[in-house]
């Protein structure tokens, strides 16, 4: 279930907004220049066939936003040391607050991930699930949690080769908010 939770930047003690309505999520984020929309989910998508499965949607976004390069990423749980090592490495990569020089545009073809956008004096946590397309505008402070058992296929859009590099702010704000695992478990229990 897609879920937007908004807290004050001071911490999650008080919840300002909590909604799983895609229209409300899109409207709330649009005020900050963040694009959120949904595509129809194609079943059985992998990193290998994602670009073909969503050819038309990808072409539309690339043309509208001027993206020159698109790729697909996949993490599929497996009982192997390789998966466990990758899960830790990939999760930690963007788990602290950072910005990018380029927009970070992601489509979730399968699975889930949480983008935490730190805008003004609030934190907007967007739990993205299959069918969600989210854009984090360039220079927006944010972090990303794929959980301790990453499971997703995502499509990434780029304007240039190194726009995805993280500029870390050094803030520990990310440690004060619920993790992917905690948000998913709360969403599942209908909290
Ligand atoms: Fe990022």
Structural domains of the chain ordered from first start: 3-188 (2.60.120.10)
Is the per-residue pLDDT at 101 higher than 60?
yes
Task: Dump pLDDT digits (tens) for 61-79.
Answer: 999 999 999 999 999 999 9
Q: For residue 154, how far is its CA from the centre of ligand 1 (angstroms)? A: 14
Q: Per mean pLDDT, which range of 7-16, 124-133, 182-191 is the poorest? A: 182-191
Task: Dump pLDDT digits (tens) for 102-156.
Answer: 999 999 999 999 999 999 999 999 999 999 999 999 999 999 999 999 999 999 9
Q: For residue 78, how far is its CA from the centre of ligand 1 (angstroms)? A: 25
Distances (CA, A) of 53 to 39, 42, 47, 120: 11, 7, 10, 37
Q: For residue 166, how far is its CA from the centre of ligand 1 (angstroms)? A: 6
């Amino acid at each position: 279930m897609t879920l937007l939770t908004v807290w004050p930047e001071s911490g999650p003690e008080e919840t300002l907004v909590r909604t799983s309505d895609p229209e409300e999520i899109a409207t709330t984020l649009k005020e900050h220049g963040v694009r959120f929309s949904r595509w129809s989910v194609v079943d059985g998508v992998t990193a290998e066939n994602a670009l073909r499965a969503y050819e038309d949607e990808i072409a539309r976004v690339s043309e509208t936003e001027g993206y020159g390069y698109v790729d697909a990423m996949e993490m599929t749980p497996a009982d192997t040391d390789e998966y466990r090592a990758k899960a830790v490495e990939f999760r930690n990569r963007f788990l602290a607050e950072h910005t990018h020089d380029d927009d970070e545009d992601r489509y979730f073809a399968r699975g889930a991930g949480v983008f935490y956008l730190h805008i003004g004096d609030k934190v907007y946590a967007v739990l993205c699930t299959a069918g969600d397309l989210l854009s984090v505008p360039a220079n927006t402070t944010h972090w990303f949690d794929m959980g301790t058992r990453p499971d997703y296929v995502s499509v990434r859009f780029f304007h240039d080769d190194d726009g995805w590099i993280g500029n870390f702010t050094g803030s520990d704000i990310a440690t004060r908010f619920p993790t992917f695992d905690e948000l998913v478990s709360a969403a599942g229990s209908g909290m």
